[in-house]
Amino acid sequence: MQGRRIRVRGQVQGVGFRPFVWQLARRFGLRGAVLNDPEGVLILAAGAGLDAFEAALYAEAPPLARVDAVESVAEDLPEARDFTIAASQGAGAETRITPDAATCSDCLSEVRDPTDRRHSYAFANCTHCGPRFTILHRLPYDRAQTTMAPFTLCPECAAEYADPADRRFHAQPVACPACGPRLWIEPCAGTDPISQAADRLRAGEVLAIKGLGGFHLACDARNAVAVALLRDRKHRPAKPFALMGTLPMIRAHAALSAEEAALLQDPAAPITLLAKAGTPLPEGIAPGQGTLGWMLPGTPLHHLLLDAFGGPLVMTSGNLSGEPQVIGNDEAREKLAGFADAFLMHDREIARRLDDSVERITPAGPMVLRRARGRVPGTLPLPPGFEGAPQVVAYGGQMKSALCLIKTGQALLGHHLGDLDGALTYDAFLQADADYADLFDHRPDLVACDLHPDFRATRHARSRGLPVVEVQHHHAHLAACLAENGWPLTGGKVAGIVLDGLGLGPDGTVWGGELLLGDYRDYDRRAWLKPAPLIGGDRAQSEPWRNALVRLDAAGLSDWADTLFADKPLTLARQAAARGINAPLSSSAGRLFDAVAALLDLCPEGQSYEGEAAMRLEALAEDGAAPFDFGGEGAEIDPAPVFRSIRAALEQGQSAGRISHAFHAGLARAFATKARAQVEGGEAAAVALSGGCFQNARLLSETLDQLTGLPVLIQTRTPANDGGLALGQAVIAAAQRL
């Protein structure tokens, strides 16, 4: 029969796409078949409604599907009497794996329906929701290849699984109370683990709860004593805790726009940063911050727990300080016993740990801060010009580690792993490298890594026995922004404002406040913050007073430094700076934020977590102050005048909030002015913003305001911080082969 061979590419397996096609084909009176294969979904169809059928493949795709392309060619097909779902064909990993997805409304209705057989079942799911990546051992994505393999389907679930008209058709995690995973609480005191857990939370206890990608530690978010207890047990003085609540609960404690509500309800169910508002929660949840990180319940278990408890919960990663999140039951009993009063457990294995994704809505739209559960292993198409790119693996940096694979025109930026200083996190990094290579049948032709020779990721890259491309840290940031935005390989150079904590420059100094003119293949450093010594090396990252001291001395304000930091070893510190003893020069914007924060008495002695001073400075900012002026000649941007302005402002009685705003606005203007000159002078076709400092919504907004009228590229789907480095490294390495 005369028909069409239709190839559908994208995220089209494990999302109910074949039954969707089957139902669509019946609607349009088509004959033929649909099947999965290594490239995606293949449709062989004949009938009068083919044009409308193809249009509906795009327009009506299932909720979790992402259709990248529909390719159609006329073909003589074997005669068929009706339309069928055929068996999967071939092996390989050319198609997409669907990320884990939050519980859909249909499953949630069943869980809450006393007459439904899945009433109060903590593991209900269908093709539109539930675990995917966290249960997958290997491809193809069949039940036998997942952690659901030990659970044999009961007759009722098997019938749903086999029925193309059912939304659980070929939903690999399908289960019910008769045949699926079970839930319990330790120590046990009854038959209803959910109600027991709620009672313990109401009593002020801390619970370890097994979720999709690992364990969380939970407590009553309204109980300041319970929050303080959790902080004390975790030895976590100030780093913000994440919160879980329903939309009404969230609205009681946070300002919530329509866009933010939509992000919370995305199938990824990310932690979303929201401005504090309404009824205050204990300050101990996020000390010194103007935002709280909220997420909606993402599984039936979490919905049931919130229903039973009736209020918001702290929901923070279950791990020892500096270690990866716990995922195994025995591991939890061993490592979390000192934190938790009880354990809410289940017997479905977690195939790989995934932290919660963290996102926010900025004046420029949504922005991913941490890419993990719900977003990974989603891929990005490579920009035009990268056709024929070799297979590449890139290993990122030392902080916020994530790796990236390039294969068949797609870039897969992996999940957040953490900081590789910790031995167990480095072990997790090595496991992820092997896991991704096996899962996606990845055989790299070359390896990309950071320029810094002492980064563990760099040393691992060199050990692979493959050609290695070492990429300067800030060039990688720039390229990541270009790649996410689909900037063509031959699209011309852009002016890249890259502001972050640190990255080794080819001149041996530590960069971090740069304007680069570049593309995927090369770059020139056109402007930078005037360098200052990092007294004590790494200690300068954790003790903001050290950065304030060197900046005040450089501004001719040593007398003020002597007064502010009289209890510090100033003589020794200044001698180290003058002699360059463990005091490398750095243009770091992150350390500049620390210096300003210290002058406003924001954790000058020390930061308990990376970025604390800068986050407090952002939270403090008030609108209305005029930008502080930066100085400098030629390529250098000198912050010395800013420190003189801060002193004058404080002496005049100006608020710390106005000073914070003036600093943010001044820094934005200083770099935007340099970037604008590159575009208006014809050397750059656009401006790109990257680096961890641009996760500061105020800095981003001020910079965009200063760049009005110019084409500006920002990162929204990949982290602008070091979590996106591997993407930039990968495309730079690929570009060298094209």
Backbone angles phi, psi at 184, to 5 degrees: -150, 170
What phi and psi, each to the nearest 5 degrees, are found at residue 550? -65, -35
For residue range 218-258, list pLDDT tens digits in order.
999 999 999 999 999 999 999 999 999 999 999 999 999 99
What token pair was written down for 511?
Answer: 């960069």
Could you give the 3-state DSSP secondary structure of residue 165?
A: coil
How many C-beta atoms surround the C-beta of residue 158 within 10 A?
13
For residue 106, count other CB atoms closer than 10 A to its CB.
Answer: 13
Structure tokens that stand for 328 in this block: 């195994």
Structure confidence by residue, pLDDT tens digits, 659-673: 999 999 999 999 999
CA separation for the pair 399, 397 (Å, rounded): 6
> Closest by alpha carbon to 92, among 61, 134, 138?
138
Model confidence over 117-136: pLDDT tens digits?
999 999 999 999 999 999 99
Question: How sure is the predictor about 92, in pLDDT bands with cuts at 50, 70 and 90?
Answer: low
Q: Which helix (H) or strand (E) holds 554?
A: helix 544-554
Query: How many beta carbons lie within 10 A of that of residue 31, not counting itself?
Result: 18
Q: How far apart (Å, rounded) are the C-alpha atoms in residues 418 and 402?
A: 8
Is the pLDDT assigned to residue 403 strictly greater than 60?
yes
Question: What is the token pair recorded at 613?
Answer: 């001073």
**CB of 393 closer than 8 Å to CB of 437:** yes
Name, in order, each residue with C-beta under 8 angstroms of 635's C-beta and a sequence gap of 6 or more: 525, 526, 527, 528
Q: What is the DSSP string of 688-718?
A: EEESGGGGSHHHHHHHHHHTTTS-EE--SSS
Length in residues, the chain: 738
| End-to-end CA, the chain | 43
Give the pLDDT confidence score for residue 377 in this predicted structure: 93
For 604, left (φ over 0), alpha (ψ -120 to 50), or beta? alpha
Q: What is the DSSP letter of 11?
A: E
User: Is residue 397's pLDDT more than 80?
Assistant: yes
Of all residues in the chain, the percent with pLDDT exceeding 70 is 99
Q: Where are the beta strands (DSSP E) in 279-407?
A: 291-295, 313-317, 342-346, 358-362, 365-370, 380-381, 392-394, 404-407
Q: Which of 468, 485, 478, 475 lies closest to 382 in space, CA to CA?
A: 485
Q: What is the pLDDT of residues 580-610, one digit of tens each?
A: 999 999 999 999 999 999 999 999 999 999 9
State the chain's mean pLDDT as an integer. 95
Of 51, 31, 52, 55, nearest to 43 by C-alpha is: 31
What are the backbone dihedrals phi and psi of residue 143, each rounded to the nearest 5 degrees, phi first?
-55, -40
pLDDT tens digits, one per residue of 568-579 = 999 999 999 999
**Tens digits of residue pLDDT in 51-86:** 999 999 999 999 999 898 899 999 999 999 999 999
Q: Are 699 and 693 in contact (CB under 8 A)?
A: yes
Residue 232, token pair as written in the block: 């004390």
Residues 549 and 562: their CA atoms lie apart, in Å, by 9
Q: Which residues contact 190 (CB under 8 A, 6 or more apart)?
A: 196
Do the beta carbons of residue 419 and residue 441 sit within 8 Å?
no
Count of Cβ atoms closer than 10 Å to residue 633 Cβ: 8
Let me know: does 70 contact 8? Beta carbons within 8 Å: yes
HEC profile of 438-498:
HHCCCCCCEEEEECCCCCHHHHHHHCCCCCEEEECHHHHHHHHHHHHCCCCCCCCCEEEEE
Of the candidates 657, 651, 672, 650, which has an alpha carbon nearest to the alpha carbon of residue 617?
A: 657
pLDDT at 310: 97
How far apart CA 461 and CA 635 sit, in angstroms, is 34
Q: Which pLDDT tens digit goes with each residue over 257-299?
A: 999 999 999 999 999 999 999 999 999 999 999 999 999 999 9
State which amino acid sits at residue 198: A
- CA-CA distance, 600 to 545, in Å (whole number)? 11
On the question of pLDDT at 140 being above 90, the answer is no
Q: Which residues contact 20 (CB under 8 A, 6 or more apart)?
A: 60, 61, 62, 65
> What is d(CA 448, CA 726) in angstroms, rounded to the nearest whole number?
8
More reliable by pLDDT, 182 or 90: 182
**CA distance linking residue 649 with residue 629, whole number of Å:** 13
pLDDT over threshold 70, residue 94: no
pLDDT at 544: 97
Beta strands in 350-437 (DSSP E): 358-362, 365-370, 380-381, 392-394, 404-407, 410-413
CA distances from 533 to 72, 142, 549, 639 (A): 61, 56, 10, 14
Position 315 confidence tier, pLDDT thresholds 50, 70, 90 = very high
Q: What is the pTM of this model?
A: 0.94
**How far is residue 190's CA from residue 269's CA, in Å, rounded to a whole number?**
31
Q: What are phi and psi of 386, to 5 degrees?
A: -95, 10
Copy the structure tokens of residue 500: 């972050």
Measuring CA to CA, which residue among 263, 25, 343, 55 is closest to residue 164? 25
336's tokens: 């979390």
Looking at the chain, the whole-number percentage of residues with pLDDT higher than 90 is 91
Q: Is residue 93 over pLDDT 60? A: no
The residues, ordered by sequence, that sit 6+ positions from 309 with a Cβ below 8 Å of its Cβ are 197, 198, 201, 202, 220
Q: Is the pLDDT higher at 126 or at 138?
A: 126
H or E element: which one contains 670?
A: helix 656-680
How far apart are the C-alpha atoms of 408 and 661, rounded to whole Å? Answer: 46
DSSP 46-91: ESTTHHHHHHHHHHT--TT-EEEEEEEEEEE----SSEEEPPP---
> Where do the domains of the chain lie, and which CATH numbers do they carry?
2-85 (3.30.70.100), 183-346 (3.90.870.30), 379-475+720-736 (3.30.420.360), 498-502+507-518+526-713 (3.30.420.40)
Instruction: State residue 322's pLDDT score.
Output: 78
Q: Are 125 and 171 a contacting pair, CB within 8 Å?
A: yes
174-227 per-position pLDDT tens digit:
999 999 999 999 998 778 999 999 999 999 999 999 999 999 999 999 999 999
CB contact set of 50 (below 8 Å; sequence gap of 6+): 3, 4, 28, 30
Phi-psi bin for 593: left (phi > 0), alpha (psi -120 to 50), beta?
alpha
Are 2 and 76 contacting, i.e. CB atoms less than 8 angstroms apart? Answer: yes
Q: How far apart are CA 611 and CA 590, in angstroms?
A: 8
Reply yes or no: is the peptide bond before residue 381 cis, omega within 30 of 0: no
Which structure tokens are listed for 194?
A: 């959910």
How far apart, in whole angstroms, are the C-alpha atoms of residue 582 and residue 572? 12
- Distance, in Å, from the CA atom of 406 to the CA atom of 434, rounded to the nearest integer, reads 15
Per-residue pLDDT, 91: 58
Confidence of residue 88 (pLDDT cuts 50, 70, 90): confident
